[in-house]
């Protein structure tokens, strides 16, 4: 394992009318950035807990509320997938503008609706690591229709079939992605069933690595504390291996 290189410079520290010598050591390279995208009906609150832990590993993290969520809940009925994708693009650009960020080392962590849109983001912005928890799947049609007006029965039926990458915008994005991927499935998911997860898995044909984990006994929203902790453990371990490991030369 090689050590991380650092830059050093001397400083003087004033104390009680005297000056003592010190040396700053700072990373020579910039640090990875991690963007969290919550699901429909959620918020950044749950992401904040995990982001704090990952920030402690040496990453700059950004969580945010999609329009129609958090403080803009009143707008939810009008929000389209195009609106949400534009929100994610704006959040991504805000993250990479941070002065400590290495723009070639960006991870995106997306949940459900946020995971679906995160795959499309990879066709519009550079993403190196992609973590998807229970990624939802939507028909390409009616892209500009408010999300709440999409036909729920059609979506349920669609998600229970095997969808080819060439027939879906999000899956086509997956087919073109070449970074590292984590997919986390819930064992008892009524919204994103196993066939949807397998459609995503099958689409990732060009990735550097693919990790698939199932949270036993969990539902779509991870409604019990044990499931929440299990997912947090899976995500942090993967981020540590992929993001932090790459910084110090561990493969």
pLDDT (tens digit per residue) in 80-105:
999 999 999 999 999 999 888 899 99
CB 50 within 8 A of CB 36: yes
Q: CATH for 30-247?
A: 3.40.50.1820
Write out pLDDT tens, residues 145-200. 999 999 999 999 999 999 999 999 999 999 999 999 999 999 999 999 999 999 99
Local confidence band at 58 (pLDDT 50, 70, 90 cut-offs):
confident
State the pTM of this model: 0.89
Q: At what angle do helices 194-203 and 169-176 cross, to 10 degrees?
A: 40
Between 35-39, 49-53, 244-248, the lowest mean confidence (pLDDT) is in 244-248
Nearest to 123 by CA among 72, 70, 56, 176: 176
What residue ranges do the domains of the chain occupy? Answer: 30-247
């Amino acid at each position: 394992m090689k050590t991380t290189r650092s830059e050093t410079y001397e400083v003087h520290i004033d104390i009680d009318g005297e000056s003592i010598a010190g040396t700053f050591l700072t990373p020579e390279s910039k640090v990875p950035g991690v963007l969290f995208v919550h699901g429909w009906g959620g918020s950044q609150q749950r992401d904040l807990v995990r982001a704090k832990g990952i920030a402690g590993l040496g990453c700059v993290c950004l969580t945010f509320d999609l329009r129609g969520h958090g403080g803009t809940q009143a707008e939810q009925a009008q929000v389209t997938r195009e609106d949400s994708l534009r929100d994610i693009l704006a959040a991504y650009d805000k993250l990479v503008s941070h002065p400590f960020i290495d723009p070639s080392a960006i991870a995106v962590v997306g949940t459900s609706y946020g995971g679906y849109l995160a795959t499309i983001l990879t066709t519009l912005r550079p993403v190196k690591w992609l973590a998807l928890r229970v990624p939802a799947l939507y028909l390409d049609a009616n892209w500009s229709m408010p999300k709440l007006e999409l036909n729920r029965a059609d979506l349920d039926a669609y998600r229970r079939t095997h969808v080819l990458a060439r027939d879906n915008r999000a899956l086509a994005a997956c087919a073109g992605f070449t970074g590292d991927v984590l997919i986390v499935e819930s064992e008892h998911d009524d919204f994103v069933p196993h066939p949807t997860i397998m459609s995503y898995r099958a689409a990732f044909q060009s990735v550097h690595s693919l990790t698939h984990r199932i949270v036993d006994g969990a539902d779509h929203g991870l409604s019990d504390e044990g499931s929440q902790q299990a997912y947090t453990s899976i995500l942090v371990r993967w981020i540590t291996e992929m993001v932090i490991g790459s910084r110090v030369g561990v493969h």
